[in-house]
Amino acid sequence: MVRVLLLINNNEVLRVDTRSGEYVSRAIGSRP
């Protein structure tokens, strides 16, 4: 499982799962 974390200027974390191709946008410090 390969995951790439990208930091966005909006203080959001874009989690990209290159295997499943899912894109999850989350605010930094917040959890599901």
Which pLDDT band, with edges at 50, 70 and 90, does 1 fall under? very low
pTM above threshold 0.85:
no
Which bin fits 12, alpha (ψ -120 to 50), beta or left (φ > 0)? Answer: beta
> Which pLDDT score is estimated for 4?
59
The two three-digit tokens of residue 4, written as one number: 């790439």
Any idea where the domains of the chain sit in the sequence?
1-32
> Which pLDDT score is estimated for 26?
52
Nearest-5° angle of CA 4, CA 8, CA 13?
Answer: 50
> Which pLDDT score is estimated for 16?
55
pLDDT by residue (tens digit) across 8-30? 554 455 555 556 555 555 545 55
Distance of CA 20 to the CA centre of its chain: 13
> Which pLDDT score is estimated for 24?
53
- What is the 8-class DSSP label of residue 11? S
Nearest-5° angle of CA 14, CA 23, CA 28?
Answer: 25
